[in-house]
Structures are given as C-alpha cells and as structure tokens.
Structure 1
C-alpha cells in the first residue's frame, strides 16, 4: 500500500463516520427531541443536501489551490461544523448543522480521488481510490458502531462531538504525510463547466444518485428494521453496524479490483443488479435472524463495491476537469443518500412496516442499472472501429 494514501484513508474514516453514524442514532435523537424517527431522519437528508451543494461549489472555489492546501481547508470546515452539531438545541438546528457538516464532504472525496489516482501506479488507479474509500468502510466497521454504542449508553451528542477529534487527527495527517502536489489547472471555468453539458456526465449522475439510493433506503432505517422486524435487542445494533462495515470493507476491495480489470460501467451494472437482488432477499427474510445477518453483510458488500468503479468512471469521462467531475460524483452519491432516506421513509410515514423501504430501494437500484446499461450501449456505439488489416 502507498503510505501517502493513508491521510486520504483517514479522511474517509472521518467523513464515513459522520455520514453513517446518524443511522444508528436516529431512535435516540427522535426521543430527545420528541419527534418521529422519519423526522429525525431529515438530518440524514440535510447532510446529503450539504454534500450536493458543497461538492461542485467548493471544488470550483478551490480550483487554483494546491490539492494539499485545499484538503486541509475542507477538513478544517468539516471539523468545526461537526463539533457544532453536538450542541444543537432542536432537531431543526441539528438539521442545519448537519447540512453545514456535509458541505466539505463531496469536495474532499472528489479532490482526494484525483490525488489518489495521481499517486497510483499505472493501471492501479481504481485500487488507489479504493484505499481512500477503505477509510469509509473502516468507519462502518469500527467508529460508526462505537458512535452508536456511545449514543445508546451515554448521549448521541458525545458521538457527534467526537467527530471533531477525528477531524483534527485527519488535519494533522494531511499536513505531515500527504505529498504537496502542484495545482492542476486545465482550461477555463467555461471549459470545466462544459462537463455538465455532456450526456455521459448526466448518465453517471443518474446511475449514482438513483442507483445508490437503494442502499440508503435500507441502511437509513436499519436500526428499527433489526429491532422491530428481526427482533434483535437494541444493544445488538452497534454490532450489526459492524457487520455492515465488514461487508463494505470487503465490497470496496472487490470493487476496486473489478474496476481495474473490466470496464467501470460494466462493474456498475453488475453491482447494481446485485444490490437490487440483495434488497429483495432482505424484504423476505428479515424475520429470520440468521438470514437477516447474512444479508446485512451481503448488502454491505454490494453497496461500497460501487464506490471505486463509479468514481473512476467519472474521472475517465472528465478529462481536463477531473476534480470537478469527481466531486460531482460525490454530490450524486449524496443525492442518493437524501433520496433514499426520504423515499424510504414515505412508506414508513404511511404506516407500512420497516421492510417497506427495501422495496423502494429495489426500484431505485434497478433504475440505476438501467442507466448503466444505456451508458454501456452508448460507449459501445462510439468506440472506433478496428483498423482494417492489410491484405497481401
């Protein structure tokens, strides 16, 4: 492993923790603020909205900065805003601070993805990006369950406040260990923003925002699913989140290797279909504790296996505007986060059971695979024909 990628992995740990820890804390936030679990879930959507706003905006504002300096500024903003979340006096204020906490998320992963690919050996770019996302998977394996445990036994405020400390450690790691790469300016603002006019860009955004929304339909409400349907005691939830994290860790490694061996769009198509299948199985087997745990691991694998293929797909499609393209992908991931949490909560608010979000997730994953198929078909149509072989 390239040691220079470790600060990016630690950043992934910090960001992954703040993004996913809310899923296990929803019952305690809802209780403290006297709101319903779907209302507490608005904090998840608010964070995702912050990512959508901040990813392209902060990337463009920092386009002339050296990557290391930009990453330091983004992590400083992350640290301050996450610390403020611990002091929110109401659910409304918490949603606001969560929105602010999400602003640097997409830009950090976007810039970090390009830095990782520049530091990687030839042909290993997707695996290098997967090292950064490995921090996110480790978050789900260790720090997210730890945060859930703290929220359950002490206070969700301590869990969110601890993210400030993780952010500070990341700042130090970036400062001391990340190489100082030069700023990479290619073209003007208009040339970079021309990326938005490309049909392939929008297809990748739709693959990401709609397809990965299936994951968030499931994981946003995993705590009540496991306690109310699978009948696990509440104190098992942190360990179940560790199982999700283990699945994500394994899936991330598989996705990185897969995207370096086959076309990234093909990897996305296969993985989205696998996610849809996993959610169907979860809908039917959640009352069985053993099968429920097995499918929790499988769904975790499918979800994060998509991260590196989608990111390298956008980077390859964004020549001359790689940082903007990579940050847009992160915005799209969190559109999926917001859509999944919101749409998955609709059947719950209507009185349906805690397995109902999985059916919404199946539809979203299948829609994402449809967009991936369209992009694959387009790429095959525009591939140049092989040159004729001279005869004689």
Structure 2
C-alpha cells in the first residue's frame, strides 16, 4: 500500500506507526466493501436470494453501530496500542470465521462480529495519529491514517473481487484474516506504547452528547454524506440503464471513485491544516453542484467518470470533520470517535433510502443526483449552523504555520 505521507516520511518514529495504522484501515476497507462486490457469489454459495444475502451487509453495519460506542467505552483506560492490537485481533478472528461459515445466518452473525471493532479501531487510530502530529498538522496526520480505507477502494476491493470470482470468496475472507494478524504483530512491534494518562469518566464521555456543536458538526456526516451513498448505491444501475455502456465500465467507475477519495483525502487534509471550517463549507457546496451535474453527466461515460471522481473526493472531508470535533470538545474524545462512525453508517442507510424513495416515485437512476444534492445541501446547512455556534463561543482552530 502506497500513500503520500503528510511530512512524516523523513521521520521514521512517526511515519511507520502512522503507516501501520493506515494498514489497519485498509483491512477494514476490504472487510466492508469487498463483501458488497461479492454479494452475488455469497448468495449463490448459500443458495439464497440476493435480497436475503443483503443481510450480510446489514449485519456488518449493525456490528459497527453497536461496537463503536461499546468498545470505545470499554477501552477508555486501556493503553491505546493494546486497544489497537485487540481490535486487529478481532478482525482476524471474525474474518477467519466468516471464511468457514456454513449457512447464511451463521455468516450474518460473523459479519456482525466483523463490524464490532470497525468504529473503535478508526477512532483509536485517529486519536493516536492526532497525538503524534506536530502543532497544526493534526488533520493531515489523521487523513494519512484514513487513506488506508480510500486505497482499499482503488486496489484492494477490485483485486478481492477478482479473487472471489475466479477462486472463492472464502479465500478473500481468509486473506483479510491473515492481513489482520500481520497488522496485529506490526502494531505491537512498531506503534509506540500510548498509555491514557488522564482517562475520562463515563460522565465526561456521555457529557459530550450535551454539546450542541458536536451534534451540528456530526450532522454534516449524518445528512451530508448520505449524498455520497445515494449516488454510489445506484451507480451500477445508472451505467447499465442510463449510460448504456458495457459492464466493465462499472469497475472503472468504481476505481475512479476510489482514486477521487484518495486524492480528496490528501487534499482536504492539507487544506484543513490551514482552514478546516472554510475547507468543509466550500467542499460541501461543490458537492451540491457535482450531484446536480451528475444527472446530465450520466448520459456520457467520460463525464460520468469525472463526476464520480469528484464525488469520491468529497469523502476526504471525513478526517477533517473528526479533527474539528476534537477541537470543539475538550473531553469525550472516545465518544466522539464512536459518534463519527455511527454517523457514517447512518448516512450509508439514509442515502440509499432517499434514492430508493425517489426511484419508487418514477425517477430514473441518474436522477438520484437530485436527491444527493439535497442531502449535501442539508450537510451544508448543518455546517452553517456550526459556524454560528462556533462564532458565539469564539472557537478558534489551530492552523499550520505558513
């Protein structure tokens, strides 16, 4: 896995720990997204309908929503390196069990287990990255860790799909389990011990939920990121029915989305080091425009590739928003990390639901772009509300030196 380090390449004491934590998010990307592309294979293996096999995806999302707050609270006082090893170890076991599942209910159960460490690993690794970053570089360090997930969408998922199609989806699960085992060993070897010197109490952790600013910033994800999934969920249908190009163009479109996500992740991290609030607002407005243009762009495959690339770039706001949340709340960082992961999975449900409702009303697949634009604009309104609240509290963000 190759990523562009945010000014840490010359310092091995920070580069390798950040790189290893990015490997963990790469594994999570494979765990979550590869199963989507292999769903028909899983359905055929268990002799069930595609809709029934969809519970495999739902099971993972349920695991994330349950595990994110639960494990962040349970590991609140634990050395963060130890916590990371616990989470990667769980990834190893759960994916290994998924590889040998003998029935659909058993597979769904193992997928719930696979999702449990997802949010907690993300939150913990981002907190470790933030603690290692020099002043004014936190957003780019956190983006580096998040880049593992984005690279999984470009390289890992297409390769896993090919292995699943030509060998077995079970082998893919087994490979992910082995990678998680390797990550566990590398975390122990290369990530420095990170004891929690001042663990927060449960009262402080849950107290963060009383902060209106935390909810308004999280609302950018809850609502705005639904715009991403609204288009992405029906992208394959759009290409086949509206664009009317061969099936292989779907893979290219997915790859363009992944490339856009990776570049957007890097660019947003760099820009957010200077001005996180402005970066977020401008990116959301650009996403509204892109979603509207997608409706017409879908009639030409090259324009569609460009639109999907830009859509993927908007995902780069993820680490930026989490960095903002850490800035506006002095305590409850574990709960914030869990809240962010729950927000993403909620957006993953809202987007397809809104798009599906539009389609049920007689809209064409490409017109999900209109629904996507509405969701992105909803995210922009939450950003505007956040700006008002920050101005009232006179909150200032730490900026990188020029």
Q: Which residue does the alignment assign to 1:294?
A: 306
Question: What is the match of residue 379 of structure 1?
Answer: 390
Matched positions, count: 382
Contact 2:76 2:200 in 1 (8 A): no
Give the 3 Å change call, closer, same or farther, for CA 90–294 of structure 1 in structure 2.
farther
Structure 2 Cα separation of the partners of residues 42 and 341 of structure 1: 15
Relative to 1, partners in 2 of residues 1:279 and 1:379: Cα closer, same or farther, differing over 3 Å?
same
Residue pairs, 1:273-288, within 5 angstroms: 273-288=285-300
Aligned with 1:260 (options 256, 269, 273): 273
Residues 97, 232 of structure 1: CA spacing in aligned structure 2 closer, same or farther, 3 A cutoff? Answer: farther
Aligned partner of 1:344 in structure 2 is 355
Q: How does 1:62-77 map to 2 (within 5 A)?
A: 62-77=75-90
Cα offset, 1:227, TM superposition: 3.5
Indicate conservation of the 8 Å contact 1:211/1:365, yes or no: yes
Deviates more, 1:352-361 or 1:114-123: 352-361
Q: 1:187/1:64 Cα in 2 relative to 1: closer, same or farther (>3 Å)?
A: closer
Question: Structure 2 unaligned runs (5+)?
Answer: 1-7, 9-14, 397-402
Q: Which shows bigger deviation, 24-33 or 157-166? A: 24-33
Taking the TM superposition and a 5 Å limit, the aligned residue runs for 1:80-229 are: 80-89=93-102, 91-229=104-242
| Alpha-carbon offset, residue 274 of structure 1 | 2.0
Checking the alignment, whether the CA contact within 8 Å between 1:30 and 1:40 is kept in structure 2 is yes
TM-score (norm 1): 0.89
**Deviation of the 1:58 alpha carbon:** 0.3
Residue number in structure 2 paired with 1:318: 329
Cα 1:161/1:237, change in 2 over 3 Å:
farther
Q: 1:359 to 1:118 in 2, by over 3 A?
A: same
Please provide the CA RMSD for this pair: 2.5
Q: Which runs of 5+ in 1 are unaligned?
A: 386-392
Deviations 1:335-379 (A, max 9, x none): 212322444344556775433443332222111111111011111
Which contiguous aligned blocks of 4+ residues in structure 1 show a shift greater than 6 angstroms?
none
Deviation (angstroms), 1:103: 1.2
1:364 equivalent in structure 2: 375
**Residues 222 and 137 (structure 1 numbering): CA distance in 2 closer, same or farther, change over 3 Å?**
same
- Relative to structure 1, the CA distance from residue 61 to residue 25 in structure 2 (aligned partners, 3 Å threshold; closer, same or farther) is same
Q: Report the Cα offset of residue 248 of structure 1.
A: 0.8
Per-residue deviation, 1:93: 4.5
Q: Counterpart of 1:195 in 2: which secondary structure?
A: helix
1:289 and 1:205 map into 2 onto residues whose CA distance is 34
Structure 2 equivalent of residue 24 of structure 1: 37
- CA–CA distance in structure 2, aligned partners of residues 230 and 118 of structure 1: 47
Q: After superposition, where does 1:10-21 map in structure 2 within 5 Å?
A: 10-21=23-34
Is 1:270 the counterpart of 2:282? The answer is yes
Question: How much does 1:65 deviate?
Answer: 0.6
1:255 aligned counterpart, secondary structure: helix
With over 3 angstroms needed to count, the CA separation of the structure-2 counterparts of 1:267 and 1:45, relative to structure 1, is farther
In structure 2, what is the Cα distance between the partners aligned to 1:223 and 1:272? 24
Give distance in 2, aligned partners of 1:34 and 1:187: 47
Is the CA contact (8 Å cut-off) linking 1:212 and 1:365 kept in structure 2? Answer: yes
Deviates more, 1:285-294 or 1:63-72: 285-294
